[in-house]
Structure 1
Amino acid sequence: MTELTFGLTAPERCSYLPGQQEQVVFLLPDHPIDAQLYQQLLQHNFRRSGNDVYRPHCPACQQCQSVRLTVSNFAPNRRQRRILQRAKRAHFHTRLVAPSSNYYPLYQRYINARHADGAMYPPSPEQLDSLLHCNWLPVKVLEIYHQQQLIAVTVVDVLDKALSAVYTFYHPDYQHYSPGVLAILGLIEQAQQKQKAYLYLGYYVADCAKMAYKAEFQPQQRFSAEKWQTIA
């Protein structure tokens, strides 16, 4: 990896854990970056937000751990098979495509219903645009449909060796179908078809209830103590 220059943000309230503060290390924006370099950084606990690349750097907490799945040996568990079967009976289907400009009503409804107490509230078109576009990386979306209605969207980074899930939003009325789980299962299928080695799921925080579903996908690897460790 070439020599890189990073900055450090000031402490602020943690988005995941009450009573904690967070800081992030970020690649300085004037540093040239491309998909190949990002893939290397992804292997060291970094993530992307818009054009920015960052990783947590919190002195008092090490709970943010990147999660990835080795897609060649993944098999859905009993609960995941039930979710897939229920979605199939209801005529759900998915497709991986370039981002569209018509997602904002769905995104707005999701943020208002599910994250009105979070950092992404209130939603804005500019906020969604920053999720859907990156100047140096091809971005795709996994669309999930119930019959002909779009009910969920997952933003996906496409890399040589991996797919990386960036963010999922969905129609709140379809929460009982577990759209977050369906999105991951759909991405695993896409990664297998495209012969990718890994699917990255973003950060897992053990004490954050909203992230509990990620732990259900096993075996998985988590980046802890500066190395990938298998959790089964």
Structure 2
Amino acid sequence: MSRLLRLAGRPAVWVSGAFLLVLGALPYSAGLFGALFPDLPRPLYSRASFLDLALSHAALVGIATLVVVGVGIGVGIFVTRPVGRDFAGPIDTLTAVGQTFPPTAVLALAVPAMGYGGAPTVMALIVYGLLPVVSATIAGLNAVPRAPMQAADGIGLSPGGRLLKVELPLAAPVILSGVRTSVVLNIGTATIGSTVGALTLGSPIIEGLSGSNPAYVIQGAVLVGLFAVAADLWLDELERALT
């Protein structure tokens, strides 16, 4: 019971509750936005349900995150092994370029090859989200103290066993901080996927901006903001637990 009470007092729970509350209340808020913006003929976004937008947005970010985590941690492990140390510089440059490359440009390049919809959006999120995970993995593994690694060698662990049983567990909090940064960035970045036909919480924002409808912009922005903050807080809880 005490654990449940402590959990209920966490900011992550409150923000998640606020997100779900807003998500459930928005379909019934036409009167509110009509009063706030009386000049708008359609004050409530209705091309798709807000629940569908949220689920699609979460799915795009989730798919991209799975790829980013798998590739980013794999690359970080590779360049911290003796066989891959020579590739550390070029890989760092490539991931940095991916971070600075505008997601809109990635979308523009991906659409001719992948078509419209979620696929180019996922590609843009992967490119944009790799750097934090790769950098955090490299930093975390390089920061592992030598004493536990020498102890692992002393008890006869193989290099793979030392990596799985010593290095990765000790580096996990640092790696998770990179994953956390990547996820929060991609929750915000996924909104522009609506410009190429992806169904996201950015759909009301894009339509509102193009149609001079501030009510749509507010509806999408509030949901995206609460979603990003809730994800950040939950990952912070996990990071604290690992630490």
Q: Report the structure number with the largest CA radius of gyration.
A: 2
More strand as a share of residues: 1
Q: Provide the TM-score with structure 1 as the length reference.
A: 0.24
Higher RCO (Cα < 8 Å, 6 or more apart): 2
More helix as a share of residues: 2
